Chains A and B, each alone.
Chain A
Amino acid sequence: MPEGSSGFNEEEIMERRSFLKASMVAALISVSAYASSAQAQDKTFTIALVPGLTTDAFYITMRKGAEAAAKAVGAELVFQGAPDFNPVTQVPVLDAIIAKKPDAILIAPTDKDQLIQPLKKAHDAGIPVITVDTFIGDGIYQTGAGDAEFPLSYIASDNVLGGAIAARALAKAVGEKGKVYVSNVKPGISTTDQREQGFKDEMAANHPGIEVLESQFNDNDANKAASQLQAVFARNSDLVGVFGANLFSALGAANGVQQAGQTGNIKVVAFDAPTSIVDNINSGLVDVAIAQHPAEIGYFGVMSAYAHLTGNSIPTAIGTGFTIIDKANVADPDVAKYIYSD
């Protein structure tokens, strides 16, 4: 997310989002008016979506949103990616996509530096690039500065903000005092790093009663995340909460709480909301889940690409929101629609 926006609070983001949505709708209306009045637009645009990895409910839900948008504007969506979140496996997929010359590429780059040159190839070939979920360079595009400003737009949740929301939810759940820590995957992933940073910054700035212990990295292994929770608890009997920065970190930490016989005493805040999170919230294993809106990211990604291809200007950044899910609202259909479906 571009600098500056991390300082926004939720309301500002929501406001900005609805403003963007409104302007987007306006743009689309003018697009369709143009298309119908002027020469009929017979060309079917092909828009490629390259996710960070194909085996993740987050990107699968993003694809659904992208497909909905593609259907709405009559474009064809191509979804191709690698099975793991790694530049080494993502770049060959990207090269294959570039070789087929789609009209636009939406991509969640798996590394902010290593993907710059591969994406430059697409740009040089005249294919517009929009990044979704993650970014290249510093994520600030169309500035003319640096070598990673060529993508047209960055569409994503603000992960720093997401971490801050998680911190507030956890601080509230534990009554503003006690020890907590972040259960994280591994260092170097832009999104989870930002969540951890947002969490720690918020705790340091606004929750003086909370002590944040050293983060634990579990390599996306739920078993290890569970064991780490038990070890941290064995050492700190006054541990009151944990923030799981992704699915397996949270799933593992929640199981560690259960194994330690501390369900209810140690609060668990989970980032992301796959279908299994509903059961975890209902059974009390997880107290709060922070859902991103991946379908929204996919939808606005395709819509932005289409707007650009039909000669309209698009914003250089679109921030999508979060939904906070807990036991009180998990059954509410307005909330349940944000659970990532498969």
Chain B
Amino acid sequence: MTSTVDEPPKVDPHIAPQADHADQTQTLIGHIAQLRAWLFLGALIIIFEIWSRLSFGGTFVLSPFNWQSIAIFAVAPLLLAIGQTFVIISGGIDLSMGFIMGLAAVVAAHMTNLAGLYMPLPFAMLFGILVAVLVATIPGMINGLLISRLKVPPFIGTLGMFGVARGTAFLLAGGTTVPVKNEYFAMLGNGRILGIPYLVLVTAVFVLVMHYILSQTRFGQHNYAIGANAQAARRAGIDIKGHILKLYVLSSVCAGLGGALYAARFTAGAAQAGEPLLLDCVAAVVIGGASLFGGSGSILGTVAGALVIAVIQYGLVFLDVEPFWQFIAVGVVIIISVLIDQAQRRFSGAKQDE
């Protein structure tokens, strides 16, 4: 990670009070924002519980079946949202995630089938997942290089990659879905232990690791610093180019894992697997307290954001509400969430990008 010539000389981050200060403010806001998403979720659950008891005399929240269903529903959008959280905190956005997920799903299906001819099925499954995630990092790396080295705006660069990944995935799939024949892979996608689906367990572990990386490591701190003030971060000696590259590779790994798990669950790889999830994942990050201006947000907030969307979409079907209200409800929650965010910023006196 050497800095290039045109960058200012490297300074020890500890003697750069500006960045430190920004960090602390952002962390504080992050905590409040994180709490906000969980409060939102709590309020939503209470409303749905009352509604459920009034409308048909049964419980919504005390049914383990409902929670299993909501958790499994939230897995795919949450995996994308985790990667998106890192990117949005840095002030960028990754529009290509949906089709990188589709690409990974197709690759996982093909490779698991292929490897199954040469090795025992459990290894074939692991091989398929590994190759899928590795292939997913290729578009991630190209995104990172375009954005960090060639100064392509993230919105445009990843929009281009959206098309490239989409076309590649459909070409690899021959335009159709690719069935997987591997009972272990199917078990990973649909089995459960003590009533908890494997997919939910895998996702929970992944979330904890990502939470640690964002909140406890230098990589995570740099991410906040770059998003809050890229100039200051550069002056503080952070290798921005190297960081951005790693960042988009990380988001593509999340999409890759999402795609592999999709293929496991539906025992088929589909190029369009992640297409409808892109907006849901951005919405989860925003409801979770991240600002699209960068510098704030958290993994746990995003978890709450993804759960809010899943609870609304599942709950409104459960409560037998006309389907089109779901779009309106999610839209309203996003707007309220951003309004609260803006109000908080004014209240806490944080610098605002206006």
Q: Which residues of A contact B (CB under 8 A)?
A: 54-57, 60, 83, 214-217, 219-224, 226-228, 230-232, 234-235, 247-248, 251-252, 255, 258-260, 274-276, 278-279, 340, 342
**Nearest A residue (CB) for B271:** A55
A221 touches B276 (CB 8 A): yes
Chain B nearest CB: distance from A137 CB in Å? Answer: 27
B72 touches A259 (CB 8 A): yes
Interface assignment of B118: CB less than 8 Å from any CB of chain A: no
Contacts of B45-80 to chain A: CB distance below 8 A: 56, 63, 65-66, 68-70, 72-73, 76-77
- A residues near B266, Cβ cutoff 8 Å: 222, 251-252, 255
Given A251-B268, A275-B176, answer yes or no on A55-B170 (Cβ-Cβ < 8 Å): yes
Interface assignment of B190: CB less than 8 Å from any CB of chain A: yes
Interface assignment of B179: CB less than 8 Å from any CB of chain A: yes
- A residues near B66, Cβ cutoff 8 Å: 231, 234
A214 touches B323 (CB 8 A): yes
Contact indicator per residue, chain B 276-312, by CB within 8 Å of chain A (1) or not (0):
1100000000000000000000000000000000100
Chain A nearest CB: distance from B72 CB in Å? Answer: 6
B271 touches A276 (CB 8 A): no
Chain B nearest CB: distance from A292 CB in Å? Answer: 15
Chain A nearest CB: distance from B242 CB in Å? Answer: 35
**Nearest B residue (CB) for A228:** B317
Interface assignment of B174: CB less than 8 Å from any CB of chain A: yes
Chain A nearest CB: distance from B284 CB in Å? Answer: 13
**Nearest A residue (CB) for B177:** A276
The residue that B73 contacts in the complex, of A83, A216, A227, A247, with Cβ under 8 A, is A227
B175 touches A57 (CB 8 A): yes
- B residues near A221, Cβ cutoff 8 Å: 275-277
Given A83-B166, A342-B176, answer yes or no on A234-B318 (Cβ-Cβ < 8 Å): yes
B69 touches A231 (CB 8 A): yes
Chain A nearest CB: distance from B39 CB in Å? Answer: 24
Give CA–CA (A220, B102) in the complex, Å: 14
A60 touches B73 (CB 8 A): no
Give CA–CA (A60, B171) in the complex, Å: 12
**Nearest A residue (CB) for B63:** A234
B323 touches A274 (CB 8 A): no
**Nearest B residue (CB) for A278:** B179
B175 touches A60 (CB 8 A): yes
- B residues near A251, Cβ cutoff 8 Å: 177, 266, 268
**Nearest A residue (CB) for B190:** A258
Interface assignment of B181: CB less than 8 Å from any CB of chain A: yes
A83 touches B323 (CB 8 A): no
Chain B nearest CB: distance from A78 CB in Å? Answer: 17
Give CA–CA (A326, B318) in the complex, Å: 30
B174 touches A60 (CB 8 A): yes
Give CA–CA (A56, B177) in the complex, Å: 9
Q: Could you write out 25 A-B pairs with CB less than 8 Å apart?
A: A55-B272, A60-B176, A83-B166, A214-B320, A215-B323, A216-B317, A220-B276, A221-B277, A222-B270, A223-B77, A223-B262, A223-B276, A223-B277, A228-B314, A228-B317, A231-B69, A235-B317, A255-B266, A259-B197, A274-B177, A275-B177, A276-B268, A278-B179, A279-B267, A340-B176
Chain A nearest CB: distance from B32 CB in Å? Answer: 30
- B residues near A226, Cβ cutoff 8 Å: 72-73
Interface assignment of B215: CB less than 8 Å from any CB of chain A: no
- A residues near B68, Cβ cutoff 8 Å: 259
Given A214-B320, A223-B76, answer yes or no on A259-B69 (Cβ-Cβ < 8 Å): yes
Give CA–CA (A248, B266) in the complex, Å: 10
Interface assignment of B235: CB less than 8 Å from any CB of chain A: no
Give CA–CA (A275, B173) in the complex, Å: 12
- A residues near B166, Cβ cutoff 8 Å: 83
A342 touches B313 (CB 8 A): no
Interface assignment of B246: CB less than 8 Å from any CB of chain A: no
B310 touches A235 (CB 8 A): no
Given contacts A223-B77, A224-B73, A232-B317, could you give 11 more A-B pairs where the C-beta distance is less than 8 Å?
A83-B167, A221-B275, A222-B270, A223-B76, A228-B314, A230-B314, A234-B318, A251-B268, A258-B190, A260-B69, A342-B174
Give CA–CA (A255, B197) in the complex, Å: 13
A219 touches B276 (CB 8 A): yes
Interface assignment of B31: CB less than 8 Å from any CB of chain A: no
- A residues near B262, Cβ cutoff 8 Å: 223
Give CA–CA (A248, B56) in the complex, Å: 30
- A residues near B211, Cβ cutoff 8 Å: none
B323 touches A54 (CB 8 A): no
The residue that B177 contacts in the complex, of A57, A217, A228, A235, with Cβ under 8 A, is A57
